[in-house]
Homo-oligomer: A and B are copies of this chain.
Amino acid sequence: MSVTFAQGFSAAGVEAGISAVAGKKDLALVVNNGPLDAAAGVFTSNRFCAAPVQWTRSIIADGHVKAVILNSGGANACTGQAGYEQSQATARRVAELLDVAPEDIAVCSTGLIGELLPLDNVLAGAGAAFAALDDTAEAGADASHAIMTTDTKPKTVEIEGDGYRIGGMVKGSGMIAPQLATMLSVITTDAVVTAGQAQAALLAAVDTSFNRIDVDGCQSTNDTVLLLASGASGVEPDPDEFNAMVAQACASLARQIIGDGEGASHDIRISVTGATSVDAALACGRAVAASNLLKCAISGNDPNWGRIVSSIGTVPASVAPYDADKVTVDVNGVRICENGGAGRDRSEVDMTPREVHIDIDLNAGDAEATVWTDDLTHEYVHINADYES
């Protein structure tokens, strides 16, 4: 289903010869058929942000986007003025096809950093995608396939609201870290909302979803999350419900990224409670999520709490006040660290499930936060030692 679940959207995914992988769909097009064209976007904070990010950030500033073209097989990052002109030319081609202004076309790219795209293939692919546009579930699925790189499966979401719908897709598997996670995501809704409403909902949703996952601590140059509203349902949603549903869509997509993290054999949920503030809880959770040693231990099915507390111990007291002698750690429900020292034996922990729950209680306050990460496996090293396309 993906982006076509919401009314007023058509999509396509085609093979345009951009990716080095023969036979892979590598170009997606998502068109908002209206009546509205409200749009919101959140982008990478990386200072080497890619040409398509620069283009899209600039054209979305007015709150209007008619279509998004996305390619895998090349990030068009660190490509200078020539790269920017490629994004611009791509937008111009889609604008011609749809008979709208180039400034209404968002562009996203993902793949290897530092190389220009095969522009002729992109432009020809845009034509093929335009010809294939449809509002079927299959067309949405094609789009979600076309944006995959090291992803092993497409990631989509469909949520039914009170008279309106939200659909979405995301790609991302490696180079995933706040802020943002490394990925491209397009979320669509047929609710009647303004660009301002969409932006507020998206910012809040991203903060508790894509910004709380970390596969490998590496932040991309191309991250983009777009929320497009067609208004095709004719329904003006309750603002709180709409915000909650956008948050739910983002959380689902973020969780799917972790579920498909490069080489991962365990999805790890790290919940920090008893913190003096959400920021304190987040800082502790992120420190644990960033520990290569812990992530290796989990891949070896070892609930090594020493590597958990030594990670928490790197967070400055000014950021997260707590007393090391009062910290407890449960892994999959077994309290293996009590009062900062050994608790129940780690052999009691069942590490067979793919999902591992690490629950840390700082016993210092009432705030809490949850972050997600993956384990670090041989396969991650293999993928990233050999990945070139």
Chain A residues within CB distance 8 Å of chain B: 45-49, 75, 77-80, 83, 112-115, 174-175, 216-221, 290-293, 296-297, 299-300, 302, 305-307, 309-315, 317, 324-325, 337, 339-342, 376-378, 380-388
Beta-carbon nearest neighbor of A384 in chain B: B296
Partner of A48, one of B49, B75, B324: B324
Beta-carbon nearest neighbor of A322 in chain B: B47
**Is A385 touching B297 in the complex (CB atoms < 8 A)?**
yes
**Is B340 touching A307 in the complex (CB atoms < 8 A)?**
no
**What is the CA–CA distance of A98 and B46 in the complex, to the nearest angstrom?**
58
**What is the CA–CA distance of A340 and B302 in the complex, to the nearest angstrom?**
42
Contacts of A77 in B (CB 8 A): 306, 310
Contacts of A175 in B (CB 8 A): 293, 310
Known contacts: A292-B218, A293-B218, A340-B78. The answer to whether A317 contacts B381 by CB under 8 A is no
**Is A112 touching B384 in the complex (CB atoms < 8 A)?**
no
**Is A378 touching B382 in the complex (CB atoms < 8 A)?**
yes
The 3 A-B residue pairs with the shortest CB-CB distance in the complex, in nearest-first order = A113-B306, A300-B385, A296-B384
Contacts of A309 in B (CB 8 A): 48, 78, 113, 221
Most central of A49, A292, A315, A377 by chain B CB within 10 Å: A292
Supply 18 further A-B pairs (C-beta < 8 A) apart from A78-B342, A112-B306.
A47-B312, A47-B314, A47-B315, A48-B313, A75-B306, A113-B306, A113-B307, A114-B306, A217-B290, A218-B293, A218-B307, A221-B306, A221-B310, A292-B376, A292-B380, A293-B384, A296-B384, A378-B382
Contacts of A377 in B (CB 8 A): 381, 385
Contacts of A315 in B (CB 8 A): 47
Most central of A78, A305, A312, A386 by chain B CB within 10 Å: A78
Known contacts: A218-B293, A340-B80, A341-B80. The answer to whether A47 contacts B385 by CB under 8 A is no
Partner of A313, one of B46, B174, B312: B46
Contacts of A113 in B (CB 8 A): 305-307, 309-310
**What is the CA–CA distance of A189 and B292 in the complex, to the nearest angstrom?**
36
**Is A314 touching B46 in the complex (CB atoms < 8 A)?**
yes
19 intermolecular pairs with C-beta atoms under 8 Å apart: A48-B312, A77-B310, A79-B342, A80-B339, A80-B341, A113-B307, A114-B337, A114-B342, A175-B293, A220-B310, A221-B306, A221-B309, A221-B313, A292-B376, A292-B380, A296-B380, A299-B385, A302-B385, A378-B378
**What is the CA–CA distance of A293 and B177 in the complex, to the nearest angstrom?**
12
Contacts of A79 in B (CB 8 A): 341-342
**What is the CA–CA distance of A199 and B75 in the complex, to the nearest angstrom?**
50
**Is B381 touching A218 in the complex (CB atoms < 8 A)?**
no
Beta-carbon nearest neighbor of A44 in chain B: B313
Contacts of A313 in B (CB 8 A): 46-49, 219, 221
A16 CB to closest chain B CB, in angstroms? 22
A15 CB to closest chain B CB, in angstroms? 24
